[in-house]
Amino acid sequence: MIPAPKTNKPKVAIYKFSSCDGCQLSILNLEDELLDLASAVDIAFFLEATRTVKPGPYDVGIIEGSVTTPHEVERIKEVRSECKFLISLGTCATAGGIQALRNFARPGEYARTVYAHPEFLHYLDTSTPISAHVPVDLEIWGCPINKGTVVEVLAALLQNRRPNFPPSPVCLECKRRSLICVAVAQGISCLGPVVHGGCGALCPANGRGCYGCFGPSSAGNFSALVASMVQHDRYSNETANLLRSFSSAAPAFRAAADAALKTAAVKETR
Amino acid sequence: MNTIEVPALARVEGEGGLYIGLKDGQVVEIRLDIYEPPRFFEGFLVGRNLQEVPDITARICGICPVAYQMSSAIALEKALDVEVSPQVYALRRLMYCGEYIESHSLHIYLLQAPDLLGQPSALDLAAIAPEVVKNALRMKKVGNELLKAIGGRSVHPVNVCAGGFYRWPDVAPLKALLPDLEWGLEAAKETVRWSLNLPYPELEIDYEFVAIHHPDEYGLMHGDAWSSKGNKTSAADYEMRYFEEHVQRSNALHGHTAQGGTYLVGPLARLNLNHDQLLPAAQAALKDAGLKLPLKNPYKSLIARSIELVHFYEEAIQLIEIYQPDGPAHASLKLKAGEGCGISEAPRGLLYHRYKIDENGLVTFARITPPTAQNLPRIEADLFALAPQIVEMPQEQATLTAEHLVRSYDPCISCATHFLKLKMEEIN
């Protein structure tokens, strides 16, 4: 935890790397708390919201986005050096995001698909989380994050206590809402048993399976889930695709997707 | 004045740079450089199942995910020759109302108004005019709550699929929003009145406006792309008339017409082309405003957004009052190989998608043309038009006026591919 400054409000900086802006927007979407938040902390750098740039060092740095360009590799080091406590905000920053799908393609393949002149571009062949480059003090998952988590984390930092995160996977959030299991009752592929909670089981509540945007739960039994889910794929490689989407580069998801592809291939040959 | 450098342009979505070259006090070169890293969506969509597409394309933009979900669903339905039910269509419009309300409220009050009121941010504005900012946040919240009631959450909603929705949203939470929407409608009318008296920089541009026109309603989805030059282009022919090119300095593609001209998409285009189809309260607000249309000042797109806010609060109220889930929440899809184009109006302008799918429902080709990519050449041209004014201004004012112009477009640079750098230098 950061030592709470005795006199001044903690200076908070919010940065953007490769991302969609949705997690920063989630902070601006704290309509009921935004003005109180702005009075409790000193928002010293937040380009999405203000032209004012107060110089570092900052007490808390919050980073949205992943590292996908040579420039970002350098910039993240500068950001780390000017922030005492660094938070990765959202699945791009914690796992590489949807753009980490390039990690599974041949280098340059996507650039050639999208751009007439790939040689004009400056990018890396991989999208990597912030923690792959610099030490990170706290990770907040979600694509997008649950905005309440930001308030909880900043409140915890101000009160010098540990933030209270949902300890259980989506599957338990679903049970707590008394939702009927979409996997058991309808045979719909759902990653709920192995995905970090925090969304409130949104997808099952809408009659569909969890697609893993909050990343892997630390206690998930991936091998058991993959073995059972692949049998029920409604289209080719459905399970592997679910694992290979928004948190694809998280190690647990990566391994499970490989296992799902292998299991599906065996199923095909039978 | 030799060099102006703003390390990063604030209150825009995305990272970009602005370069203005001067020679003997005259502007000779202007470039809007997009540094936003490329993320290659059209590349990794290939090989995905069609039902994964709306969830993936939502991630192109955190501010207008609904637009990406709608354009992609419409294009995929076209590829499969599927028509959605009137109930699904109405719920799509209602969802879009939520996105317009949150996005326009955000842009009007938190992103653009600080420029007009001489403040660095809405947070600073809150210190001198707390009621204005509190009302703005409440207006925005109503839009987000509407999105949440339909899609589970406002950023990257989870309920949209090709064919319609995974499930019908419950009636009670939607009806519960009616008092807040009624409040919002009045707040939006007040926003229009307030917007008329702001100190906009003077700039009139003879734009080619392009927006979706629908015969029966204020154009959002379906319909044809109408141009103020008289062209009417169907979604299927969109790429025949509106091109994108890859320019060296930009990770966003730049749009232009088949004749090589620039064009403008967004709130000014929609209002100028489709104002006859605004709902009554918005019509009244427009009439009371006494505006002469077409509105040609890019800074005044704030007024167009305000009038649209009135419309979308009004439409949301109407749609909720008649909302009664009936029939399947989504059409059943019969897979076949095909190709489809979809257009819809994101809050910042027309968004075009085209997909090819194979007989197993896997994407074999994807093309996405975001509104900001189409507007980029127009923003540069506007900066040229503005140049004679700004070279006469003190440095800080020149920088602010140029930045304000870019911000008035509500550019979504993550969509079009973030840090905006204004650099003005004397070229030898």
Taking Cα atoms as reference points, which of B102, B199, B205 lies closest to residue B155? Answer: B102
B360 reaches A (C-beta below 8 A): yes
Alpha helices in chain A (DSSP H): 22-28, 34-40, 70-82, 91-95, 109-114, 147-159, 170-176, 182-186, 202-205, 222-230, 238-243, 251-269
Whole-angstrom Cα Rg for chain A: 20
Q: How far is A47 from chain B, CA to nearest CA, in Å?
A: 5
State which amino acid sits at residue A64. Answer: E
Residues 6+ apart with CB under 8 A from A264: A230, A233, A236, A237, A239, A240
CA B45 from centre of chain = 22
Q: Which of B15, B39, B135, B348 to mutate to test the interface with A (most CBs of A within 10 A)?
A: B39
Minimum CA–CA partner of A240 in chain B: B48
**CA torsion, ordered A53, B137, B165, A90, to nearest 10 deg:** 30
Residues of chain B with pLDDT under 50: 7, 417-424, 428
Q: What pLDDT, on the 0 to 100 scale, is given for residue B252? A: 61
Whole-angstrom Cα Rg for chain B: 21
Q: Any idea which residue has 């950023």 for tokens?
A: B155
Q: Which of A32, A205, A241 sits opposite B52 (nearest CB)?
A: A241
B175 reaches A (C-beta below 8 A): no
Which residues on chain B are in Cβ contact (under 8 Å) with A69? 37
Minimum CA–CA partner of A126 in chain B: B39
Q: Is B121 in contact with A49 (Cβ distance < 8 A)?
A: yes
Q: Which residues lie across from A63 on neighbouring strands?
A: A15, A88
Minimum CA–CA partner of A202 in chain B: B152
Q: Is the ipTM of this complex over 0.90?
A: yes
**Whole-number Å distance between alpha carbons of B247 and B410:** 22
Minimum CA–CA partner of B60 in chain A: A20
In this structure, are residues B96 and B221 in contact, taking their beta carbons and an 8 Å threshold?
Answer: yes
B132 reaches A (C-beta below 8 A): no
Peptide bond into A144 cis (omega under 30): yes
In this structure, are residues B120 and B338 in contact, taking their beta carbons and an 8 Å threshold?
Answer: no
**Whole-number Å distance between alpha carbons of B298 and B286:** 17
B264 phi/psi in degrees, rounded to 5: -120, 130
pTM of the model: 0.94
Residues 6+ apart with CB under 8 A from B94: B146, B150, B315, B316, B319, B320, B323
Q: How far apart are the first and last CA of chain A?
A: 55
B180 phi/psi in degrees, rounded to 5: -65, -35
Taking Cα atoms as reference points, which of A120, A155, A236, A232 lies closest to residue A186? Answer: A232
Q: Which of B35, B361, B414 sits opposite A235 (nearest CB)?
A: B361
Minimum CA–CA partner of A27 in chain B: B155
Which residues on chain B are in Cβ contact (under 8 Å) with A268? none
Minimum CA–CA partner of B118 in chain A: A51
Q: Is A23 in contact with B62 (Cβ distance < 8 A)?
A: yes
Q: Which of A24, A69, A207 sits opposite B37 (nearest CB)?
A: A69
Angle at B249 between CA B243 and CA B254, to 5 degrees: 15
Minimum CA–CA partner of B63 in chain A: A22
Q: Any idea which residue has 């102006």 for tokens?
A: B4
Which residues on chain A are in Cβ contact (under 8 Å) with B59? 20, 22, 97-98, 143, 246
Q: What pLDDT, on the 0 to 100 scale, is given for residue B246? A: 64
Which of B:365-404 have CB within 8 Å of A?
A: 403
In this structure, are residues A89 and A41 in contact, taking their beta carbons and an 8 Å threshold?
Answer: no
Which of B:19-78 have CB within 8 Å of A?
A: 35, 37-44, 46, 48-49, 52, 55-56, 59-63, 65
Q: Which residues lie across from B356 on neighbouring strands?
A: B339, B365
Which helix H or strand E contains B345, and what residues bound it? strand B338-346
pLDDT (tens digit, 0 to 9) for every residue of chain A, 270 residues total? 454 444 579 999 999 999 999 999 999 999 999 999 999 999 999 988 888 889 999 999 999 999 999 999 999 999 999 999 999 999 999 999 999 999 998 888 877 777 777 777 788 999 999 999 999 999 999 999 999 999 999 999 999 999 998 779 999 999 999 999 999 999 999 999 999 999 999 999 999 999 999 999 988 999 999 999 998 899 989 999 999 999 999 999 999 999 999 988 887 776
B134 reaches A (C-beta below 8 A): yes
B359 phi/psi in degrees, rounded to 5: -65, -15
State which amino acid sits at residue A75. Answer: R
Q: Is B65 in contact with A22 (Cβ distance < 8 A)?
A: yes
Q: What pLDDT, on the 0 to 100 scale, is given for residue B414? A: 54
Q: What pLDDT, on the 0 to 100 scale, is given for residue B426? A: 52
